[in-house]
Amino acid sequence: MSRSHPRRTRLRAALTTAALVVATGLTGACAAENPTTPTTTQAPGTTGATQGTAAPGAATTIDPDDVDTVVEPVAVPFWIRGTVVGNGAARPLPPDVDKVRFALDQLLAGPTPEEEAAGLRTLIRADTTVLSFEVVDGIAKVGFNRAFQSEQTRPQVAQVVFTLTQFPTVERVQFQIDGEVPEGLGGEGLPTAYDGRDAFDDVLPRILPESPTPYEKISSPLTVSGLANTFEATVRWSVSTTEGSLLEEGFTTATAGSGTWGTFELTTDLPAYEGSVVLTLWQDSMEDGGDRLDVYEVIFVLS
């Protein structure tokens, strides 16, 4: 079942308007409140919340002084949230850079403290190094050293594929290890090339909001968009303060569900409030309708 086009279209639309935002003091607030940090189990043979080796000067520092000036274009690294893929905060693209390589460098630089406080981590090991990289005719060819591989390499592969295919110039990702194409990647013997993201359903959350991105600065009305594969295509949502006060709630319907992936988008007015808020999305239990399943939370800044 192909979902490449709606997935990529939705994400690219979000990326053209997203802004990287961390308000002054947000780090402390996130660490103290930390409403989204899950209990996670580290994949065997990997190190949790580590960072690889990117190009010199690759890491982007989140500067609160820039929150009102950074608008577009941006790059979004994809992290691991619990056991599934989750998108990180949008990084502003410096002028005159290779945007695909910049996104890869941001991925290897690892999540920011704010992202870690929100429960996002990387399974790409700290000693991972990019040995080669090019994009030719829609194919991103990326070569890592052997440190990229582990007994369970699939999450790392998903992080790279999702990060690179956010750009329309990348339709396929090919991997090399130590300058050669191996028979298989990691202990699982994974394929060495991927046409888009369709091979990674098992590491996708059932609800993946693609906009807003973490710590993005938003003004009412709020627009939320993303992907979902839920019972009867129903996605429930709420927006609350980090202290737990409810601002608004409701539900929307994706374009498909009950075993088929679809896209969703909702727009809602929010009451006057300034500060960090939490967007929560979930589906109700099919058995009794009382339990929340597949909960996904995003902290953003309401102004």
CA angle 160, 166, 170 (to 5 degrees): 80
Beta strands in the chain (DSSP E): 74-75, 78-81, 84-87, 91-92, 120-121, 130-136, 139-144, 172-177, 193-195, 207-211, 217-218, 222-228, 234-241, 246-253, 262-268, 275-284, 292-302
Average pLDDT over residues 50-73: 45
Query: In Å, how far are 90, 100, 153, 156 from 168, measured between CA atoms?
Result: 17, 10, 25, 21
What pLDDT is attached to residue 5? Answer: 38
Count Cβ neighbours within 10 Å for each residue of 248-277 and write b for 16 or more, e otherwise. eeeebebebbeeebbbbebebeeeeeeebb
**For residue range 184-210, what is the model confidence (pLDDT) as tens digits?**
999 999 999 999 998 999 999 999 999
CATH classification code of 207-302: 2.60.40.2550
Counting residues of the chain whose pLDDT is more than 70, the rounded percentage is 76
Q: Where are the domains of the chain?
A: 18-200, 207-302
Distance CA 145, CA 290 (A): 48
Distance CA 277, CA 140 (A): 37
Please enumerate in sequence order all residues whose Cβ is within 8 A of that of 3, keeping only pairs 6 or more positions apart, or say none.
Answer: 197, 198, 227, 261
Distance CA 32, CA 179 (A): 44
Query: In Å, how far are 19, 101, 106 from 75, measured between CA atoms?
Result: 10, 10, 9
What pLDDT is attached to residue 72? Answer: 62
Residues 289, 234: contact at Cβ < 8 Å? no
What pLDDT is attached to residue 52? Answer: 53
pLDDT of 1 over the 50 cut: no
Average pLDDT over residues 251-268: 96
**Count of CA atoms in the C-beta half-sphere (13 A) of 295:** 13
- Coil, strand or helix at 27: helix
Distance CA 72, CA 63 (A): 16
Distance CA 100, CA 135 (A): 8
Average pLDDT over residues 241-250: 97
Count Cβ neighbours within 10 Å for each residue of 132-152 and write b for 16 or more, e otherwise. ebebeeeebbbbbbebbbbeb
**For residue range 99-137, what is the model confidence (pLDDT) as tens digits?**
999 999 999 999 999 999 989 999 999 999 999 999 999
Average pLDDT over residues 140-159: 95
- Does 221 sit behind a cis peptide bond, omega within 30 degrees of 0 on the bond before it? yes
Mean pLDDT, the chain, whole residue set: 82
